[in-house]
Structure 1
Amino acid sequence: MAFKFLPLLLAIASVSGSTVTAPRRGLLAPQKRDTSTPTCFAPATKLPPPKAADVKSAISSADAYLRALAQTDEVDSVVAAIVTPDGSIYEGTYGSLRANDSALVGLTVDRDSIYRIASVTKVFTAWESFILRDRGVLGLDDKVSKYIPSFKLDTTVRQLATHMSGIPGTLPAGNMSSWPHGFDGSGNPPDNGLPFPTEADTIAAINSATLMVAPYTFPLYSDTAYGVLGLVNAAADGKVNGQYAALIKRDIFDKLGMSSSSFKAPASTERVVVSSSEPVEAVRFTSSE
């Protein structure tokens, strides 16, 4: 996903319940874990609003920190904003648009620069699930198979969203015959040597895979599970012809006026930030493809 300004969401969940049985297939033995529906903690005591001087001091400290950070060898650029219900109270832009491009030396990022945000996209996927839940379109404890009949596991929507499904993180899996001497074949398609998977490819790979852990026994970060969550959202909505990007645009981007955000880099890449460490990543998928 290409993104202009990034709202950060923080969710803290607790789990309570009883004993988990062994996974149908898996690597770990049964563990005494809580398995009931996760619930959010009660809101903390409301704190008094900060004083204007405190806010000004905090912004000054943040500005100095980010400015120094963008001058290190590890960071090309930073674009940051502090946004309140009354609007933005701080915007800072620091560093190079394309630090590895000698022809663009001196060209800096600004508030209209576009970054590829990679797995922060998962925030939007989970957010969409909550939107659809609130509309009565899906239930967080519904089985995935309710929306994707070819999905054979007993996984629920909530398990996908909380990284508690036990589904391996990078499916379909590549050929890692060189392991442990090399990492060839690791990661997600197409980085692992396989073509970018279709929906059917992904579901088939999950159906035949070994669960890494039983659901709700241990958090397992899974790109694959979140891919399925996006498919569930689109299937449950039923109004976007299975197009996940159209769903997010309709329910989040358009509602918030995020007109510069998209799932593919724009065909005209003048505003696209290119990392010096991963120059291909920023424009791997463009709207011209």
Structure 2
Amino acid sequence: MHRFPTLLALATALLPLLTFAASTPLPAERIAYLDQQVDAAAARYHLPGMAVGVIDNGQIVYTRTLGERVVGSGEKIDGDTLFKIASLSKAMTTALLGRLVDEGKLDWDDKVTKYLPGFKMYEPKVTKQMRVADLLTHSSGLRYGSGDLMLWPDPNDFTRADIIHALRYFPPAYRFRTEYHYDNLLYVVAGELAAKAGGASYETLMHREVFAPLGLNRCQVGRWDRDAIGNVAEPHGYIDGHNQVIRADGPVIPASAADPAGGIRCSLDDMLRWAQNWLAPTPAQLHWLSAKQRKVLQSPHIKIPVPALARVWSGTTRRDYGYGWRMNDVDGQWAVWHTGTLSGMYAELWLLPDARSGFVLLINGNGGQARTVLGETLKKFFTQPSNTQGVAGYGDKLDTIIANAPTRRNDPNLPDSAAMPPVSAAAMAGQLGIYRDPWLGQVSICARDGFVHFASEKSPRLAGVVVHDGDRDLVRWDDRSVDPDAWLDFHQGNPIQLTMAKLDPYGDASSDFEDLHFVRERGCE
């Protein structure tokens, strides 16, 4: 029978009175095993760089960094190298909110409109009922990925005010508080709500209330100088048989509307300190965030369907979401965790609260499969120490699953946008013009340099040449890290309307072209 503990409720209450013994150092053969698995993952998945840390009984017992911040640069990754932690940012945002609850500046059951009077969802009754807590559990009624084109690809010019205003345009996909569908927009709202309750910007509060008290000295959010901070990993894609930097940083990293949902960067050493704060908090850390709020954040609040892979590989029978944390049983033990994914960056933080153990995994390349396989290997290191399938075994299993899945690479009928001919301006004369969507804003579809170009006013990377396939037009993005390409479907009338759809129906849900509905406003200038 699986145990589902109350996540340190008793242990954290007693921590000020206890002194934990240091963990026994890992035997040399166990360290060698971890080294072998990290090396195997890096080689199998052609990773430019990676940082891994393991905690046992509250103590850091293993760290490993390898590869380069920028491939070919000779700049080695170390424990201070900054990675995009993507959605691991969400738990930091909820910890900030928990601090504000401890300080009496807000309550989880407060209505969102108390702090943000202009906040509106599509349905007035949901607007009226939406609590602070409801922003955090992915059960608002929004479809998976709704509005993410205002966050990514980055950088872009959307503000948090734009995002809050846009929420009124998304019809619900299901009833409020009844289902789990992952969304990012409401974490952006949560960040702005924290700013209103805390009396300073989200970025200022994060530095002051989270990074500084916990000694997360390298973590960055908001606007910062890349070269002054230094030691920053760039995202990579594995393209044409080798790693290439994609979406490279400029000399100044801008503040982003997406910061509360996925915009924080931290080092391995920072993330291990962050993990220790949850696994074996000191009296000072319990003063920073109370045992009560820790329990709230890491307790189940909405059920998540259990993926087939988790059932088969880990015997998982239950999965839930807390506030910025996922949780489920793994081989009979209770785990609290989250992953982070941005183009060219993958992260995972995984905790076993009862054992005060876990791991951190940061990758600066196209590492989705690597994270799955190495993550499973590191889980078994704790939950099934005798399991030696490792990266090779789980990698082979994942290859078989992918080969049999209905994905783009296995669909012979999916057209290749690179082989599609450009559309002539004459052929599209009746559709050229300036179009507007209620939430994405203005795009232009106009002739330039002998081609028809699609360009978003507020999202510069959403730009490309219009090509043709049979009886449909498609925009092929200039920046090939923007994926998938998107169909353009024009609907004749007065005015002409335009809808879009992913070329690859299994593509990233954050490319939510299906939520767009453009109306032509005028001709090209």
Partner of 1:95: 67
Root-mean-square deviation (Å) = 3.4
Q: Which amino acid aligns with 2:104?
A: G
Partner of 1:12: none
Looking at both structures, which has the greater relative contact order when contacts are Cα pairs under 8 Å and sequence separation is at least 6? 1
Relative to structure 1, the CA distance from residue 260 to residue 69 in structure 2 (aligned partners, 3 Å threshold; closer, same or farther) is same
In the alignment, is residue 133 of structure 1 matched against residue 101 of structure 2? yes
Aligned mates of 1:167, 1:226 — CA distance in 2:
12
Aligned mates of 2:168, 2:254 — CA distance in 1:
34
Partner of 1:42: 6
Give the CA deviation at 1:224.
Answer: 0.5
Give the CA deviation at 1:107.
Answer: 3.4
Give the CA deviation at 1:90.
Answer: 2.3
Cα deviations across residues 218-260 of structure 1 (Å, max 9, x unaligned)?
111111011001111111112x1xx101111111100122221
Partner of 1:71: 43
Partner of 2:218: 260
Over the matched positions of the two proteins, sequence identity in percent amounts to 24
Which of 225, 230, 236 is residue 276 of structure 1 equivalent to?
236
Which of 39, 49, 61 is residue 33 of structure 2 equivalent to?
61
Which has the larger Rg?
Answer: 2
Which of 99, 108, 114 is residue 146 of structure 1 equivalent to?
114
Give the CA deviation at 1:109.
Answer: 0.8
Aligned mates of 1:247, 1:194 — CA distance in 2:
22
Partner of 2:189: 228
Q: Which has the larger displacement, 261-270 or 195-204?
A: 261-270
Q: Is the 8 A contact 1:168 1:224 kept in 2?
A: no
Q: Is the 8 A contact 2:226 2:232 kept in 1?
A: no
Q: Is the 8 A contact 1:115 1:282 kept in 2?
A: no
Q: How does 1:137-286 map to 2 (within 5 A)?
A: 137-152=105-120, 153=127, 154-168=129-143, 173=147, 187-189=148-150, 191=152, 195-238=156-199, 240=200, 243-263=201-221, 264=223, 266-268=225-227, 270-277=230-237, 279-281=245-247, 283=249, 286=252
- More strand by percentage: 2
Aligned mates of 1:164, 1:80 — CA distance in 2:
32
Aligned mates of 1:74, 1:265 — CA distance in 2:
30
Q: Which amino acid aligns with 2:36?
A: A
Cα deviations across residues 178-211 of structure 1 (Å, max 9, x unaligned)?
xxxxxxxxx4226479953223321221123212
Partner of 1:107: 75
Aligned mates of 1:226, 1:281 — CA distance in 2:
23
Q: Is the 8 A contact 2:145 2:182 kept in 1?
A: no
Q: Is the 8 A contact 1:190 1:196 kept in 2?
A: no
Aligned mates of 2:36, 2:22 — CA distance in 1:
20
Q: Which amino acid aligns with 2:70?
A: R
Q: Is the 8 A contact 1:265 1:272 kept in 2?
A: no
SS of the aligned residue for 2:104 comes to coil
Relative to structure 1, the CA distance from residue 228 to residue 216 in structure 2 (aligned partners, 3 Å threshold; closer, same or farther) is same
Relative to structure 1, the CA distance from residue 198 to residue 115 in structure 2 (aligned partners, 3 Å threshold; closer, same or farther) is same
Aligned mates of 2:164, 2:112 — CA distance in 1:
11
Aligned mates of 2:235, 2:149 — CA distance in 1:
20
Residue correspondences, number = 228
Relative to structure 1, the CA distance from residue 158 to residue 55 in structure 2 (aligned partners, 3 Å threshold; closer, same or farther) is farther
Q: Which has the larger displacement, 218-227 or 59-68?
A: 59-68
SS of the aligned residue for 1:97 comes to coil
Q: Which amino acid aligns with 1:98?
A: V
Aligned mates of 1:41, 1:284 — CA distance in 2:
45
SS of the aligned residue for 1:88 comes to strand
Q: Which has the larger displacement, 84-93 or 125-134?
A: 84-93
Relative to structure 1, the CA distance from residue 41 to residue 150 in structure 2 (aligned partners, 3 Å threshold; closer, same or farther) is farther
